[in-house]
Structure 1
Amino acid sequence: MTKIVLPSGHVVYDPRGQITVAPVTPTRRPASLEATRIGILNNSKWNASKLLRHVVAQLEVVHSFTSVQHYSKTSFSSPADGALFDQIAKEVDVVITAIGD
């Protein structure tokens, strides 16, 4: 929360917060999805699972995956925990996620 003092002397608190992040270079995308291990990250919103199942079904029509692993966040309102990201990075080559509102 950021404290702002107006010229009148009144204090206003901005509830939006601020996040400082360092830039990162995205991982290289594979040339093809053939024979890749796919990870599906469900953000736990109501329609995310349905949307992701449909996406996987459509992709499987044209690609042969080595495996499809499913993961879920505990809450859509907070980031996934670092241990989950580490697990996903070890187990799959590509991750697909969706909002599902």
Structure 2
Amino acid sequence: MEPSQVLATRLLMVPIMVLTGGPYTGWRDWLFCRVRPRRRWSAALADIASFLSFQAPVYAATLLVAGADTAEVGSAIGSAVVFMVILARPFGAFVDWARRTFRVTST
């Protein structure tokens, strides 16, 4: 991708992540209710599944809007998946921590 496309994607992602935060946690809650993870590793797998299935399509759409072609989207998603897998459980733990701290219940 050209530097201008990378910049456009990054700038687009900030409001998109803010707007999709609520729907993502709703998706995560739905998936956790269906899977009912009982151990740490199964919770990690559920977080990875929810993060990948929600965030990868959002990221792909953002890349397309920013002007990337399908080959560039495929390449970017391929490398982003690695980071999504690594970040999924820490982000899920952060969501759980924030809910406990601010006494927010899942719906």
TM-score (norm 1): 0.28
Name which one, 1 or 2, has greater alpha-carbon Rg: 1
Higher strand residue share: 1
TM-score (norm 2): 0.27
Higher helix residue share: 2
